[in-house]
Structure 1
Amino acid sequence: MPRVTVDDMDADAEVPVSIPLSSWLDKLAQPRGAPGGGAASGVLIAISAALLHMVAEYSPDSDEAEACGERVAAVRIRALDAAEADGVVSAEFGAALRPSEHPDRDARVRRAAVAATDSSVGLGRIAEELVPELALLFDVGNPSLRADLEVAGEALSAALGSARANVRANVSTVKAHRGEGDRLDEWVAHVERRAEELDAANARARSLI
């Protein structure tokens, strides 16, 4: 489970990478926002990748499955790294959103929301890499593990949908705190295109299962 920085509104604490899943979920359940939905999306990606790796390992007669297994193993590591990084970004976003009369609050919120959006976009990109791997294993993987592939597909779909939801929410916050001359028009357009691509990737994953 990823080590995630947790903002308890008073002090930050690190959650060790070696803690049990039940402990990490306890942290997720707390009203702190770090880990939050972005980190959860990363964990869903990692779960999907782990299941795909298992199916690939159960398909020893396929060179394609073997290569797939190597790729998804790397994706699993990157997904957990991204989940950990998202926890840090989430803590900073939560801090920026605290009520304040400071004249620069809008700018701080905007910067934190941009970082949170970019983190969600990055998680979405990682999740998208698993869609063709899922399709490949449906073709060449051990047919006895079809149910495991379907579970992997469901986890992947949830991860893609979660990343899309976070992108939508965070870019809305950016828009609500925009300032004159912030030069974010191109960024907003890019992020909105990426959101559409996440929707398309999710539709593709759903079609496979």
Structure 2
Amino acid sequence: MSAELERLLVELGRSMDRPPPEMAVENIMLALRPRRRRWPCRGWPLAAAGVVLAAAVVLGSLYGTPSADSTGGGTLPVSQASAEPCAGWTGFVEVGHDVVAARYGWEPPSLMPWPAPLRIRESGIGPARGVVLVDYEVAGVPVLLERYTAGAETTPAPAPLGPQSLLRREFAAQYRITAEDGGRAGTGLVKCRGTRAVWRIGDAVYAVTGDLPDWTVLELAGAVR
């Protein structure tokens, strides 16, 4: 193996975010075994480049291209941060379970079929009049659970849970929260994608959105308390 080819393969390996499996290494080394030369010496650089390309294809097909943000310091995994079910939220701050429980008397679900929450956010328009957003990942898919306190208006309006009430593909979602004195305390318009259910429990309105089958979305919605 030429020194240049060896250097290129070493750089290729260093670019991977995790070690390649043994089978991939064996396939690459098999391609590098000395064989009877069937091309002139002047064709060696081109052949070497072809081997490097083949190695890249083998490893790339197994791992894909690492994201440039894979070492970012965000709370959410890169896969979720880059594909939020609803985008356009403004004026929200990250909070803990204790804050949500104290202000709203509610805790985000964390038992089956729900996993543990990844992040909890709250609108900054005052206690007992806000919106709570909870980020999850279900079966590798980003899922957003929204809770609107009493007095909130949402578009689409809440409806009884069922296949006929689900929204699909891409759509806009709007909310408005009215202050105690009748003034407008907060409004928002976001763009969502996936499957979405909007329903009411008592005085509060809930919505769940994710690129999941209808039955999964309905199962998640039905497990919210």
Superposition TM-score tier, normalisation by shorter sequence: under 0.3
TM-score, normalization: structure 2?
Answer: 0.26
TM-score, normalization: structure 1?
Answer: 0.27
**Which has the larger Rg?**
2
Greater strand proportion: 2
**More contact order relative to length (CA 8 Å, sep ≥ 6):** 1
